[in-house]
Structure 1
C-alpha cells in the first residue's frame, strides 16, 4: 500500500479474497489520473516488489496504460484509469454481499 500511496495512487481499495477465490488472498484496486500516471504507479509498485523479493510478478496491460494487472500470487493489484475502473467496477463484483471485507485507503 505504501508504494501505491507514494505514487499518488487514488481511491485505493483492498479486498480480502480468502474464501471467495483460489486466485489470490487479497485484491488491491487503485486509480491513476491518466495513462501516464497508471503506468508510473504500476512501474513504481513493480520496482518495490522486486526490491522486496517479489520480482516474479506477472504483469499485463503496462504498455496500454488503461488497466494494469499485477499478479504476485497472493495479491492481485489492478491499476486503472478512472473511466476504465468505473466501467468494469470489479470492486463491486468481489464485494457483493460482504460487510467489512473491502477496505478503502
Structure 2
C-alpha cells in the first residue's frame, strides 16, 4: 500500500536543498577575494619573529627565482619551546593578515618548523639544526643586497 505524503511533508523536503545550498555557498564578499601582498606578509612575519626574540632572521626574496614562493624567511629559536612559540605566533599573525591557508609542520618536535602560507614560506630552527641543514647555502647566489637580516 503506497504511503501518501501530506503537502506539509513535501514542503519541508523541498525546502531542505535550498537551506543546504545557502549553508555551503562560499563567502563572495570583496574582502574574501583579496589576498595579501606576499612581500608585506614577509615583512609582518619578520617583524613578529623579531618581536618574539627570534635570532638570525633572514628574509630571502624568491619572486622570479622560484615557483614555490615569493619570499622565504629563516630564523632560529633558542630552544624547542621557543621554536614552538615562535611558530604559533607567526601562524596566528599570518591568519590575521589574511593568508588563506597556513599549514604548519614539525611542531611535535619543534627542531625545525615549516610554515607554508602559499607565497611565503617560514623555516624556524633550533640553532644546531639550522647549522646542520644550512638552507641559506641554497640561496647564496642571490645578490647580497637582496638578502636582509634582522
- 1:36-71 superposed Cα distances (whole Å, 9 cap, x missing partner): 000000001111112222252111101110000001
Q: Which residue of structure 2 lines up, in the alignment, with residue 22 of structure 1? A: 67
TM-score, normalised by the number of residues in structure 2: 0.66
Instruction: State the Cα RMSD in Å.
Output: 1.3
Q: Name the count of aligned residue pairs.
A: 105
Q: Which has the higher contact order (CA 8 A, sep 6+)?
A: 1
Secondary structure in 2 matching 1:100: helix
Partner of 1:74: 119
TM-score (norm 1): 0.92
The alpha carbon displacement at 1:101 in A equals 2.3
Per the TM alignment, residue 2 of structure 1 is displaced from its structure 2 partner at its CA by 1.5
Match of 1:4 in 2: 49
Where do 5+ consecutive residues of structure 1 fail to align?
none
- More helix by percentage: 2
Which has the higher Rg, Structure 1 or Structure 2? 2
Q: How does 1:18-57 map to 2 (within 5 A)?
A: 18-54=63-99, 56-57=101-102
Structure that is richer in strand per residue: 1
